[in-house]
Structure 1
Amino acid sequence: MDRIRVCICEDDVTQLEYLQQETEGFFRQKGLTAAVETFESAEQLLFHYPAGLPFQCLLLDIGLGKMDGMDLARKIRAQDRELPIIFITGEKGYVFEGYKVGAARYLLKPYKPEDLAEALSSVLQIQEERSEEEYLGFYFQGEYIKLKRKDVLLAEVHGHYISIKTKGQEYTFKGSMKVLREEWPDSCFVLANRSMLVNLQNVERITRTECFLSDGSSIPISRGCYQNLNKGFVEWFM
């Protein structure tokens, strides 16, 4: 993992800017790029992402406006049981309620930079522990879908559309190879030809012209992609 998507929901603009700066700095020190999106209300966040949150960490202030952070967390948990949530509040009374909705950490204002760093470290540890079960996310027919990385066979681009293929299902939606390669880890997904990214976890064997997958199917390998694919395949199982 070399990139992490973080969401911050905080109605105090000064605090919001501080959290963004500190969060980006923390992950930069860890050698990661933090793609941070910020929102000043629960309603604003839900308006932008009504079908689910495509993030790996949420920093959430409890004392928001009409809809508070706890209500927002309950809505999120109805769709996503695994998103790490760091609650931020000035009141101790929310601690028990926060853990009922699966808080990863709880920051009590005023908190120190090292407190925030410790909370973010816990999220990083959670993500590292999930590395073998890492999820890939995308929007499909208005819903945010999460698939376990190991279940994906390949992704194929045709025109302005991407097809994600698993052993039992196929998802087709608008997208490009450029975006796909930015979002999906190079260590796991490698080009087999101009239009296909194959998941090394599901490659059984390769020849100079074909790549054989764990479901019994095979896909063509282009001459220009063979060397890099073969190298990735060997390194994956070393």
Structure 2
Amino acid sequence: MKIAIVDDKTSDLLAAESHLLRYLRQTHPGIIGRLRIETFSSGEELLENFEIGRFSLILLDIYMGTMTGLETAEAIRQQDEKVPIIFLTTSSEHLLEGYRVFAAGYFIKPLANNTNEFARTFEHILPELMAQEKDISIPVAGENVDIPFRNIVYVDINDQHTLRLHLAETDVDTLMPYANCSEILLQDNRFLECHHRIILNMDYVSLMDKEEFILKDGSKIPISQRRKRDAKVSYMSYLAHR
């Protein structure tokens, strides 16, 4: 699990990180070993390093330098509609604006003064964060590599007739049989087999056309004729429950 904390004040940045770690150690110690926190001093710095699937959660200060937290959140939402964003601020002035970007929480600093609300919000979103942390273990160059579900854009068969995982950042080839991979991925409702030997992560879909899915990066994934009806039903269900 990777969490981003963004604040232009170093003292507030460290305080937020400390509060988060203390809370998780006390309530969910099993997460600590899998947790990685990345800190950023501006919205611009976060956006330079942002990719869909990179962060499980973003804690974002509102009042910052040239780019505010709200502006940063709006830019994030243009790329990723799902990553939870929690605002950190010294005022409740922008509370309603936070809902425009579907904020998961809104905390007045310092967090130490809002421990109960912080705990309620985290207990509400944590099950979804944990679900996003599912992964698949695949053999790559003689070693098993764990690939988070959230990083998989789609899966298909390459020119050498072996399995290829197209990830958010790169592609990975593996000797894992397609049937084994599909059995694991298709248990998760974000994945859909839209064509023969193609499994798509619907988190990356921008829209569904008659013959194909259009991904957020402009890529196109075909829909086979015999899977068209089921693909539409599955995608509509996904949209209704996301």
TM-score range, shorter chain: 0.5 to 0.7
1:92-171 alignment, distance < 5 Å: 92-111=92-111, 112=113, 113-128=115-130, 135-137=149-151, 147=153, 152=155, 163-164=164-165
Give me the whole-angstrom Cα distance separating, in 2, the residues matched to 1:38 and 1:197.
37
Hey, which bits of structure 1, 4+ residues long, moved more than 6 A?
129-132, 213-217
Give me the whole-angstrom Cα distance separating, in 2, the residues matched to 1:47 and 1:57.
17
Match of 1:35 in 2: 36
Identity %: 26
Q: Does 2:58 correspond to 1:71?
A: no
1:11-90 alignment, distance < 5 Å: 11-28=8-25, 29-30=27-28, 31-32=30-31, 33-49=34-50, 51-52=51-52, 54-90=54-90
Alignment RMSD (CA, Å): 4.1
In the alignment, is the contact (CA less than 8 A) between 2:53 and 2:168 conserved in 1?
Answer: no
Whichever residue aligns with residue 26 of structure 1, its letter is Y
**TM-score (norm: length of structure 2):** 0.56
Q: Indicate how the Cα distance of structure 1 residues 153 and 124 shifts in structure 2: closer, same or farther if over 3 A, else same.
A: farther
In the alignment, is the contact (CA less than 8 A) between 2:62 and 2:87 conserved in 1?
Answer: yes
Match of 2:170 in 1: 173
Match of 2:181 in 1: 198
Give me the whole-angstrom Cα distance separating, in 1, the residues matched to 2:168 and 2:56.
22
Once the two structures are TM-superposed, the CA of residue 215 in structure 1 deviates from its matched residue by: 7.5
Give the secondary-structure state (helix, strand or coil) at the position aligned to 1:11.
coil
In the alignment, is the contact (CA less than 8 A) between 1:59 and 1:86 conserved in 2?
Answer: yes
Aligned length: 171
Task: Decide which moves more: 97-106 or 25-34.
Answer: 25-34
Cα deviations by residue, 1:108-154 (Å, 9 ceiling, x for unpaired): 2244234333332222033357689x9421xxxxxxxx64xxx7579
Query: What are the ranges of 5 or more consecutive residues in structure 2 without an aligned counterpart?
Result: 135-147, 187-192, 198-242
Give me the whole-angstrom Cα distance separating, in 1, the residues matched to 2:173 and 2:185.
22
**TM-score (norm: length of structure 1):** 0.57
Query: What are the ranges of 5 or more consecutive residues in structure 1 without an aligned counterpart?
Result: 138-145, 178-190, 204-212, 218-238
